[in-house]
Structure formats: C-alpha cells, structure tokens
Amino acid sequence: MAESMNDVKHRIASTKQTRQITTAMEMVSTAKLNQIQKHSVSYEAYVSQVKAVVMHLAQSHLLDQLNSSSNANSKQSNSAKKVAYLVITSDRGMVGSYNSNVIRGTNRFIEKHTPNSNDYMVLAVGKNGAEFYKKRNVNVAYEYSGVSDIPTFSEIKTIVKTISSMFDNHVFDELYVCYSHFVNRMRSDFRAEKMLPMDSKAFENGQSGDVKPAKISAEYDVEPDASSVLNVIIPQYTESLVFGAILDAKTSEHASSSTAMSSASDNANDLISSLQLKYNRARQAAITTEITEIVGGQEALKH
C-alpha cells in the first residue's frame, strides 16, 4: 500500500528530529574525545617512567624474588591454574562496533589461551561486557560499572585494590587486560596485555608497551631492602596499567561514538533527501491529477 503524502511528511519531520539528536550526540562525543586526549598526553609521560623503572628492576633480577615467592604460594595452595580476563567495555550503547569488537577480540584470545571454560573467569568493567558473559553462563567474578567519561585515578584505585586482593588470595593466577586501543578517530585496535604476575622475560624482550628495553650492566643496590622497594613500585605499576587501559578504552569509546553518530546523521540526511523527493513526486502527481480533472470537467461542460 502506497504511503500518503501526510505519512511521508510525518516521516520527514521525525527523521529531522532524529538527525538533530545524533548531531548533538556527535558534538558531545567529540568534545569528550578532545578532553580525554589532553589527559592521555600528560598521563603517558607518567606511565612511561613507571614502566621504565619496572623494566630496570626486571633486568637487574629484583623481580625474580617476587616471582619465586608467588610461585611458592601457588604450589602451597594446590589449586588448578586459573586465568582472569579484565574486559573493558562501555556502560551504554550507540557507540558503533566498539563493544562488539572488544568482546569478539576477547573471545578469540580466550579460545586460543584457555579453551576450557573451567580454567578462566571474567572481570568486567562496563555493563555491556558483564551482561554478555553472564547471559552465556561465563564465570563473571567481578563487575564494575559507572566509570566516568573522563576517568580519574582515584576511582580506578577501587578496581585495582579489588583485583590485587583477588590475586593475593589466589582467586586467579594470571590476569590479562582486554580492551580497545585508540589509534586515531577512525581506527581502534584490540589489545590483550598480561598484567599479573609480572613476567621478567617479557620486560627483558622489551614487550612493555612503547618503552624500549634498556641495557643494565650491574644490579641495583637497594635500601632498605628489595621487598620494601617492590611493595611501593609494584602497586604503582599495576595501577598505571589498569588506569592506562581504561583511559585508552574510554578514548576509543568516545571516538567510536562520535563516528557512529556522524554516520547516523549522514544516513538521516540521505533518508530525508529520498523522502523529500518522494513527497515532491507525490505532490506533483496530485497537482497533475487535479489539473486533469479540471480540464476534463471544462471539456464536459462544452458538450
């Protein structure tokens, strides 16, 4: 059944209203993206220094004491090795393929490293990831929602404290952070990085983000002792990794939202043009029909 002119006119009006909403949301997401990028630039300098210090500790063999202690505790627990995946997604929708890309990348990574569902658990930051895995009966051992659009270091400490406590209590033995890494406004890449326990070999091979491996010719002289130094440095390093990943993920989320809303506005423009053309054709046809009827009536009166 063909649409009436009033139906088409109504669709044009409603599509214009939708375009106003998507355009406004695009502007908001772009503003948030610009704001969080400023925070990211200043934070990168800090996290780079923390990574460099930990890399030096690894190459000077101070981390070997920490790893040997962790291995000893794991053996005493006599429990099977458990792997945890910290999955960072958004709390809301309308962010394009952001959430689906993170979940898809995480699932592929899990299938490759821990195909047995009894050997892993999920720690979810963001409602979308938590809901996805709970619906599929995956063990979601921890979930956190409500991360600010521009995350602060203080709110991330709550997440880190809980994760560190779970690790210390042998709830899991390994932790990977899975998130979307911001490349530019049009592109984001999935990342899965090992966070706990610290892998000295990874540091020695330079597998620590953008920090290049340094050559250490001698070991550190530590005061008061290695344990005291590690107790200060390791929590800072863990906090910096989690905060950096969430900050990076939020940047990617705002970029994806801005792009999605821009595409929605473009689609609305295309639909409005199509409906306007349809309306004009229907109006022209109606006018032509009316003129034809008038002329036909005049001809009938002549006879």
| Candidate from 119-128, 256-265, 281-290 with smallest mean pLDDT | 281-290
Cα separation, 183 vs 175, in Å, equals: 24
pLDDT higher at 58 or 240: 240
**What does the pLDDT look like over 56-84, one tens digit per residue?**
766 666 665 555 555 545 444 445 678 99
Compute the radius of gyration of the chain from its Cα atoms: 29
Asked if the model's pLDDT at residue 258 lies above 60, the reply is yes
Asked if the model's pLDDT at residue 205 lies above 60, the reply is no
Its CATH class, for the domain covering 28-261, is: alpha beta
| Candidate from 51-55, 60-64, 178-182, 266-270 with smallest mean pLDDT | 60-64
Asked if the model's pLDDT at residue 206 lies above 50, the reply is no
Angstrom CA distances, 235 to 2, 26, 55, 229, 264, stand at 67, 37, 15, 11, 43
pLDDT in the model for residue 261? 93
Mean pLDDT (the chain) is 81
pLDDT in the model for residue 216? 45
Asked if the model's pLDDT at residue 217 lies above 50, the reply is no
pLDDT in the model for residue 227? 66
Q: Tokens 């309308």 label which residue? A: 94
**What does the pLDDT look like over 147-186, one tens digit per residue?**
888 888 888 888 988 998 898 888 998 999 999 998 888 8
What secondary structure does DSSP assign to the chain, as a single string? -PPPHHHHHHHHHHHHHHHHHHHHHHHHHHHHHHHHHHHHHHHHHHHHHHHHHHHHHHHTTSHHHHHHHHHHHHHHHT----EEEEEE--SSS-STTHHHHHHHHHHHHHHHH--SGGGEEEEEESHHHHHHHHHTT--EEEEE----SS--HHHHHHHHHHHHHHHHTTS-SEEEEEEEEEEETTEEEEEEEEEES--HHHHHTT-STTPPPPP--S----SS-HHHHHHHHHHHHHHHHHHHHHHHHHHHHHHHHHHHHHHHHHHHHHHHHHHHHHHHHHHHHHHHHHHHHHHHHHHHHH-
pLDDT in the model for residue 194? 87
User: So what's the architecture of 5-19+262-302 in CATH?
Assistant: Orthogonal Bundle (1.10)
pLDDT in the model for residue 189? 92
**What does the pLDDT look like over 95-118, one tens digit per residue?**
888 999 999 999 999 999 888 878
Calculate mean pLDDT across residues 40-50: 76
pLDDT in the model for residue 202? 54
Calculate mean pLDDT across residues 188-215: 65
Answering whether pTM is above 0.85, one says no
* Residues contacting residue 93 through CB under 8 Å, at least 6 positions apart: 99, 128
| pLDDT tier, 195 (very low <50, low <70, confident <90, very high otherwise) | confident
Which has the closest alpha carbon to 200: 56, 49, 50? 56
* Domain range annotation of the chain: 5-19+262-302, 28-261
Asked if the model's pLDDT at residue 266 lies above 60, the reply is yes
Calculate mean pLDDT across residues 230-249: 82
Burial of 159 (0-12, 13-18, 19+ CB in 10 A): buried
